[in-house]
Amino acid sequence: MQFLQTTLIRIFYAIVLLVAVLVLNFSLMHLAPGDVADTISQSMGGADQELLDRIRSDYGLDQPFLVQLGRYIAGVLQFDLGFSFFYNQPVTKLIMERLPATLLLVVTAQLLALFLGVFLGVISARKPNGLTSHFVTFMALFGYAAPVFWTGILLLIGFSLHLHWFPVAGMRDVTISGGFWVHFVDVLRHLILPMITLASIFLALYSRLARATMMEVLGSDYVRTAKSKGLSQRQVVYKHALKNSLSPVITLAGLQFSAVISGAVLVETVFSWPGLGTLAFQSIIARDTPTILGILFFSALVVIVGNLLTDIALRLVDPRLRGRS
Protein backbone atom coordinates (compact mmCIF):
# COMPACT_ATOMS: atom_id res chain seq x y z
CA MET A 1 0.00 0.00 0.00
CA GLN A 2 2.74 2.36 1.01
CA PHE A 3 4.69 1.22 -2.04
CA LEU A 4 1.75 2.15 -4.25
CA GLN A 5 1.44 5.57 -2.62
CA THR A 6 5.12 6.37 -3.07
CA THR A 7 4.90 5.29 -6.69
CA LEU A 8 1.87 7.52 -7.31
CA ILE A 9 3.61 10.52 -5.76
CA ARG A 10 6.59 9.85 -7.96
CA ILE A 11 4.42 9.69 -11.06
CA PHE A 12 2.85 13.03 -10.10
CA TYR A 13 6.30 14.62 -9.75
CA ALA A 14 7.26 13.10 -13.06
CA ILE A 15 4.37 14.84 -14.83
CA VAL A 16 5.22 18.19 -13.24
CA LEU A 17 8.81 17.66 -14.33
CA LEU A 18 7.75 16.89 -17.90
CA VAL A 19 5.68 20.09 -18.16
CA ALA A 20 8.61 22.06 -16.75
CA VAL A 21 10.90 20.44 -19.32
CA LEU A 22 8.53 21.49 -22.11
CA VAL A 23 8.07 25.11 -20.99
CA LEU A 24 11.74 25.64 -20.22
CA ASN A 25 12.99 24.13 -23.46
CA PHE A 26 10.41 25.95 -25.55
CA SER A 27 11.44 29.26 -23.98
CA LEU A 28 15.14 28.56 -24.40
CA MET A 29 14.70 27.64 -28.05
CA HIS A 30 12.70 30.80 -28.57
CA LEU A 31 15.36 33.02 -27.01
CA ALA A 32 18.01 32.05 -29.55
CA PRO A 33 18.26 34.32 -32.60
CA GLY A 34 17.21 32.89 -35.96
CA ASP A 35 14.81 30.02 -36.57
CA VAL A 36 14.05 26.96 -38.66
CA ALA A 37 13.17 29.11 -41.70
CA ASP A 38 16.88 29.98 -41.90
CA THR A 39 17.96 26.34 -41.83
CA ILE A 40 15.32 25.40 -44.40
CA SER A 41 16.72 28.11 -46.65
CA GLN A 42 20.22 26.78 -45.92
CA SER A 43 19.23 23.29 -46.98
CA MET A 44 17.93 24.80 -50.22
CA GLY A 45 20.94 26.96 -51.00
CA GLY A 46 19.22 30.24 -50.20
CA ALA A 47 15.76 31.76 -50.27
CA ASP A 48 14.33 35.23 -50.74
CA GLN A 49 12.57 37.22 -48.04
CA GLU A 50 9.12 36.39 -49.42
CA LEU A 51 9.76 32.65 -49.12
CA LEU A 52 11.22 33.03 -45.62
CA ASP A 53 8.13 34.98 -44.54
CA ARG A 54 5.87 32.33 -46.00
CA ILE A 55 7.71 29.49 -44.25
CA ARG A 56 7.34 31.42 -40.98
CA SER A 57 3.63 31.99 -41.43
CA ASP A 58 3.08 28.38 -42.59
CA TYR A 59 4.52 27.07 -39.34
CA GLY A 60 3.02 29.75 -37.10
CA LEU A 61 6.44 31.18 -36.28
CA ASP A 62 5.17 34.72 -36.84
CA GLN A 63 2.78 34.42 -33.87
CA PRO A 64 3.60 35.91 -30.41
CA PHE A 65 5.64 33.69 -28.10
CA LEU A 66 2.82 32.94 -25.64
CA VAL A 67 0.46 31.93 -28.45
CA GLN A 68 3.06 29.51 -29.83
CA LEU A 69 3.77 28.08 -26.36
CA GLY A 70 0.06 27.73 -25.57
CA ARG A 71 -0.61 25.96 -28.86
CA TYR A 72 2.26 23.59 -28.24
CA ILE A 73 1.27 22.67 -24.67
CA ALA A 74 -2.35 22.20 -25.79
CA GLY A 75 -1.11 19.85 -28.50
CA VAL A 76 1.01 17.80 -26.12
CA LEU A 77 -1.91 17.46 -23.70
CA GLN A 78 -3.78 15.81 -26.57
CA PHE A 79 -0.78 13.52 -27.15
CA ASP A 80 0.15 15.44 -30.28
CA LEU A 81 3.84 16.34 -30.35
CA GLY A 82 3.36 18.49 -33.42
CA PHE A 83 4.70 18.47 -36.95
CA SER A 84 8.40 18.61 -37.74
CA PHE A 85 9.16 21.70 -39.81
CA PHE A 86 12.37 20.31 -41.13
CA TYR A 87 11.39 16.73 -41.94
CA ASN A 88 7.80 17.42 -43.02
CA GLN A 89 6.56 14.58 -40.86
CA PRO A 90 4.63 14.22 -37.59
CA VAL A 91 7.13 14.28 -34.70
CA THR A 92 5.54 11.22 -33.07
CA LYS A 93 6.14 9.21 -36.24
CA LEU A 94 9.76 10.39 -36.47
CA ILE A 95 10.44 9.48 -32.84
CA MET A 96 8.68 6.13 -32.99
CA GLU A 97 10.74 5.19 -36.05
CA ARG A 98 13.95 5.96 -34.18
CA LEU A 99 13.08 4.85 -30.65
CA PRO A 100 13.63 1.08 -31.07
CA ALA A 101 17.19 1.57 -32.35
CA THR A 102 18.10 3.81 -29.43
CA LEU A 103 16.50 1.51 -26.87
CA LEU A 104 18.37 -1.46 -28.32
CA LEU A 105 21.68 0.38 -28.12
CA VAL A 106 21.17 1.98 -24.72
CA VAL A 107 19.76 -1.09 -22.97
CA THR A 108 22.37 -3.52 -24.31
CA ALA A 109 25.22 -1.11 -23.57
CA GLN A 110 23.92 -0.50 -20.05
CA LEU A 111 23.56 -4.23 -19.39
CA LEU A 112 27.02 -4.94 -20.77
CA ALA A 113 28.59 -2.20 -18.66
CA LEU A 114 26.69 -3.35 -15.59
CA PHE A 115 27.48 -7.08 -15.80
CA LEU A 116 31.03 -6.70 -16.99
CA GLY A 117 31.65 -3.88 -14.51
CA VAL A 118 30.39 -5.89 -11.54
CA PHE A 119 32.30 -8.98 -12.68
CA LEU A 120 35.57 -7.04 -13.08
CA GLY A 121 34.98 -5.23 -9.80
CA VAL A 122 34.52 -8.49 -7.95
CA ILE A 123 37.62 -10.03 -9.50
CA SER A 124 39.78 -7.09 -8.54
CA ALA A 125 38.26 -6.89 -5.05
CA ARG A 126 39.38 -10.40 -4.29
CA LYS A 127 43.03 -9.41 -4.75
CA PRO A 128 42.99 -5.61 -4.51
CA ASN A 129 46.72 -5.20 -5.03
CA GLY A 130 47.21 -7.93 -7.61
CA LEU A 131 48.23 -7.39 -11.20
CA THR A 132 44.73 -8.21 -12.50
CA SER A 133 43.23 -5.59 -10.25
CA HIS A 134 45.58 -2.90 -11.51
CA PHE A 135 44.97 -3.92 -15.08
CA VAL A 136 41.20 -3.77 -14.63
CA THR A 137 41.44 -0.35 -12.98
CA PHE A 138 43.68 0.94 -15.74
CA MET A 139 41.44 -0.28 -18.55
CA ALA A 140 38.29 1.00 -16.89
CA LEU A 141 39.72 4.44 -16.26
CA PHE A 142 41.09 4.56 -19.78
CA GLY A 143 37.62 3.88 -21.18
CA TYR A 144 36.16 6.50 -18.87
CA ALA A 145 38.72 9.17 -19.73
CA ALA A 146 38.85 8.68 -23.49
CA PRO A 147 36.40 10.83 -25.49
CA VAL A 148 33.65 8.55 -26.70
CA PHE A 149 33.83 9.60 -30.37
CA TRP A 150 37.57 8.90 -30.31
CA THR A 151 37.04 5.42 -28.84
CA GLY A 152 34.41 4.82 -31.51
CA ILE A 153 36.62 5.86 -34.41
CA LEU A 154 39.55 3.87 -33.00
CA LEU A 155 37.39 0.74 -32.82
CA LEU A 156 36.21 1.42 -36.37
CA ILE A 157 39.76 1.70 -37.66
CA GLY A 158 40.81 -1.49 -35.86
CA PHE A 159 37.86 -3.78 -36.35
CA SER A 160 36.23 -2.48 -39.53
CA LEU A 161 39.06 -1.10 -41.61
CA HIS A 162 41.89 -3.49 -40.76
CA LEU A 163 40.26 -6.67 -39.50
CA HIS A 164 36.98 -6.41 -41.49
CA TRP A 165 35.12 -8.05 -38.61
CA PHE A 166 32.36 -5.52 -38.28
CA PRO A 167 30.59 -3.10 -40.65
CA VAL A 168 31.31 0.64 -40.45
CA ALA A 169 27.97 2.29 -40.00
CA GLY A 170 24.24 1.90 -39.79
CA MET A 171 22.10 -0.77 -38.18
CA ARG A 172 21.62 -3.24 -40.97
CA ASP A 173 22.86 -4.19 -44.40
CA VAL A 174 20.03 -3.61 -46.86
CA THR A 175 21.74 -5.58 -49.62
CA ILE A 176 21.43 -8.94 -47.86
CA SER A 177 18.30 -11.04 -47.85
CA GLY A 178 17.25 -13.97 -45.72
CA GLY A 179 15.09 -15.05 -42.83
CA PHE A 180 14.84 -13.77 -39.29
CA TRP A 181 18.16 -15.22 -38.13
CA VAL A 182 20.11 -13.73 -41.02
CA HIS A 183 18.82 -10.29 -40.08
CA PHE A 184 19.31 -10.97 -36.37
CA VAL A 185 22.98 -11.76 -36.92
CA ASP A 186 23.29 -8.76 -39.23
CA VAL A 187 21.90 -6.32 -36.64
CA LEU A 188 24.09 -7.94 -33.98
CA ARG A 189 27.21 -7.40 -36.10
CA HIS A 190 26.28 -3.74 -36.53
CA LEU A 191 25.45 -3.40 -32.82
CA ILE A 192 28.67 -4.70 -31.28
CA LEU A 193 31.01 -1.75 -31.86
CA PRO A 194 28.60 1.03 -30.86
CA MET A 195 27.51 -1.02 -27.85
CA ILE A 196 31.10 -1.50 -26.66
CA THR A 197 31.86 2.18 -27.25
CA LEU A 198 28.89 3.35 -25.23
CA ALA A 199 29.51 0.76 -22.48
CA SER A 200 33.17 1.78 -22.18
CA ILE A 201 32.23 5.09 -20.55
CA PHE A 202 30.22 3.48 -17.77
CA LEU A 203 32.31 0.38 -17.22
CA ALA A 204 34.75 2.33 -15.06
CA LEU A 205 32.03 3.69 -12.80
CA TYR A 206 30.44 0.32 -12.18
CA SER A 207 33.65 -1.63 -11.74
CA ARG A 208 35.14 0.93 -9.33
CA LEU A 209 31.98 1.02 -7.27
CA ALA A 210 31.56 -2.77 -7.29
CA ARG A 211 35.20 -3.13 -6.27
CA ALA A 212 34.88 -0.71 -3.36
CA THR A 213 31.63 -2.10 -1.95
CA MET A 214 32.81 -5.67 -2.44
CA MET A 215 35.98 -4.98 -0.48
CA GLU A 216 33.93 -3.46 2.27
CA VAL A 217 31.53 -6.40 2.36
CA LEU A 218 34.35 -8.95 2.26
CA GLY A 219 35.70 -7.44 5.47
CA SER A 220 32.41 -7.72 7.34
CA ASP A 221 31.55 -10.15 10.13
CA TYR A 222 29.11 -12.39 8.33
CA VAL A 223 31.64 -13.09 5.61
CA ARG A 224 34.14 -14.14 8.22
CA THR A 225 31.41 -16.38 9.69
CA ALA A 226 30.71 -17.90 6.28
CA LYS A 227 34.40 -18.52 5.75
CA SER A 228 34.85 -20.08 9.16
CA LYS A 229 31.92 -22.42 8.59
CA GLY A 230 34.05 -23.83 5.77
CA LEU A 231 32.51 -22.38 2.58
CA SER A 232 34.82 -22.02 -0.37
CA GLN A 233 36.01 -18.52 -1.38
CA ARG A 234 33.88 -18.74 -4.55
CA GLN A 235 30.71 -19.55 -2.60
CA VAL A 236 31.34 -16.77 -0.11
CA VAL A 237 31.87 -14.17 -2.82
CA TYR A 238 29.11 -15.06 -5.26
CA LYS A 239 26.42 -16.36 -2.88
CA HIS A 240 26.76 -14.13 0.13
CA ALA A 241 28.81 -11.03 -0.56
CA LEU A 242 27.74 -10.18 -4.10
CA LYS A 243 24.06 -9.68 -3.39
CA ASN A 244 24.83 -7.27 -0.57
CA SER A 245 27.29 -5.24 -2.57
CA LEU A 246 24.92 -4.80 -5.51
CA SER A 247 22.54 -2.15 -4.27
CA PRO A 248 24.86 0.88 -4.61
CA VAL A 249 25.72 -0.29 -8.12
CA ILE A 250 22.07 -0.57 -9.11
CA THR A 251 21.34 2.89 -7.67
CA LEU A 252 24.17 4.32 -9.71
CA ALA A 253 23.02 2.47 -12.82
CA GLY A 254 19.59 4.06 -12.48
CA LEU A 255 21.01 7.51 -11.98
CA GLN A 256 23.35 7.04 -14.91
CA PHE A 257 20.53 6.18 -17.30
CA SER A 258 20.18 9.78 -18.42
CA ALA A 259 23.95 9.95 -18.97
CA VAL A 260 23.75 6.82 -21.11
CA ILE A 261 21.14 8.49 -23.31
CA SER A 262 23.24 11.62 -23.77
CA GLY A 263 26.27 9.43 -24.47
CA ALA A 264 24.17 7.73 -27.14
CA VAL A 265 23.97 11.03 -29.07
CA LEU A 266 27.72 10.93 -29.74
CA VAL A 267 27.95 7.19 -30.30
CA GLU A 268 25.01 7.20 -32.71
CA THR A 269 26.54 10.07 -34.65
CA VAL A 270 29.89 8.30 -35.04
CA PHE A 271 28.32 5.01 -36.10
CA SER A 272 25.36 6.50 -38.01
CA TRP A 273 23.12 4.46 -35.75
CA PRO A 274 19.58 5.41 -36.83
CA GLY A 275 18.35 6.31 -33.36
CA LEU A 276 17.06 9.30 -31.44
CA GLY A 277 20.61 10.55 -30.82
CA THR A 278 21.34 11.32 -34.47
CA LEU A 279 17.85 12.75 -34.84
CA ALA A 280 18.39 14.97 -31.79
CA PHE A 281 21.73 16.16 -33.10
CA GLN A 282 20.36 16.96 -36.54
CA SER A 283 17.23 18.69 -35.25
CA ILE A 284 19.25 20.87 -32.90
CA ILE A 285 21.46 21.88 -35.82
CA ALA A 286 18.34 22.54 -37.89
CA ARG A 287 16.59 24.38 -35.01
CA ASP A 288 13.60 22.12 -35.57
CA THR A 289 11.83 23.03 -32.31
CA PRO A 290 8.97 20.48 -32.36
CA THR A 291 11.36 17.58 -32.96
CA ILE A 292 13.83 18.71 -30.29
CA LEU A 293 11.04 19.19 -27.75
CA GLY A 294 9.58 15.82 -28.69
CA ILE A 295 12.90 14.07 -28.17
CA LEU A 296 13.53 15.83 -24.86
CA PHE A 297 10.04 14.85 -23.78
CA PHE A 298 10.77 11.24 -24.65
CA SER A 299 14.20 11.25 -23.03
CA ALA A 300 12.72 12.68 -19.85
CA LEU A 301 10.10 9.95 -19.98
CA VAL A 302 12.71 7.23 -20.47
CA VAL A 303 14.85 8.56 -17.60
CA ILE A 304 11.89 8.76 -15.27
CA VAL A 305 10.78 5.23 -16.16
CA GLY A 306 14.39 4.09 -15.73
CA ASN A 307 14.53 5.61 -12.25
CA LEU A 308 11.23 4.00 -11.28
CA LEU A 309 12.51 0.61 -12.42
CA THR A 310 15.71 1.15 -10.41
CA ASP A 311 13.61 1.81 -7.38
CA ILE A 312 11.71 -1.43 -7.84
CA ALA A 313 14.91 -3.38 -8.54
CA LEU A 314 16.49 -2.03 -5.36
CA ARG A 315 13.52 -3.15 -3.33
CA LEU A 316 13.86 -6.61 -4.81
CA VAL A 317 17.55 -7.03 -3.91
CA ASP A 318 17.38 -5.24 -0.56
CA PRO A 319 14.59 -6.39 1.77
CA ARG A 320 15.34 -3.53 4.17
CA LEU A 321 13.99 -1.05 1.64
CA ARG A 322 10.71 -2.81 0.94
CA GLY A 323 8.86 -1.31 3.88
CA ARG A 324 10.22 2.20 3.44
CA SER A 325 8.79 5.00 1.39
Q: Which residues bind other proteins (CB under 8 A)?
A: 32-36, 38-52, 54, 58, 86-89, 94, 97-98, 153, 156-157, 160-161, 164, 167-172, 174-175, 269-272, 274-275, 278-279, 282, 284-285, 287
Could you give the maximum distance between any two Cα atoms of the chain, in Å?
A: 86
Distance separating alpha carbons of residues 299 and 282, to the nearest angstrom:
16
Minimum gap (Å) between residue 38 Cβ and other proteins: 4
Q: How many CB atoms lie within 10 A of CB 29?
A: 18
Minimum gap (Å) between residue 323 Cβ and other proteins: 47
Nearer to other proteins (CB atom), residue 202 or residue 273: 273
Going 219 to 220 to 226 to 230, the CA torsion angle's sign is positive
Which own/partner contact pairs does 13-17 have at CB distance under 8 Å and 24+ positions apart?
Answer: 14/304, 17/300, 17/304
Nearer to other proteins (CB atom), residue 194 or residue 306: 194
Nearer to other proteins (CB atom), residue 67 or residue 168: 168
Instruction: Please give the C-alpha separations between residue 141 and each of 76, 148, 173, 208, 276, in angstroms, as whole numbers.
Output: 42, 13, 34, 9, 28
125, 211 Cβ separation under 8 angstroms: yes
Minimum gap (Å) between residue 275 Cβ and other proteins: 8
304, 311 Cβ separation under 8 angstroms: no
Minimum gap (Å) between residue 233 Cβ and other proteins: 46
Minimum gap (Å) between residue 155 Cβ and other proteins: 11
Minimum gap (Å) between residue 177 Cβ and other proteins: 11
| Residue 52, amino acid | L
Minimum gap (Å) between residue 84 Cβ and other proteins: 10
Nearer to other proteins (CB atom), residue 33 or residue 64: 33
249, 209 Cβ separation under 8 angstroms: yes
Distance separating alpha carbons of residues 325 and 311, to the nearest angstrom:
11
Distance separating alpha carbons of residues 195 and 237, to the nearest angstrom:
29
Which residues make Cβ contacts (< 8 Å) with residue 186, sequence separation at least 6? 172, 173, 176
Burial tier of 250 (Cβ tally within 10 Å: 0-12, 13-18, 19+): buried
Minimum gap (Å) between residue 173 Cβ and other proteins: 9
Nearer to other proteins (CB atom), residue 52 or residue 107: 52
Nearer to other proteins (CB atom), residue 52 or residue 146: 52
Q: What is the DSSP letter of 129?
A: T
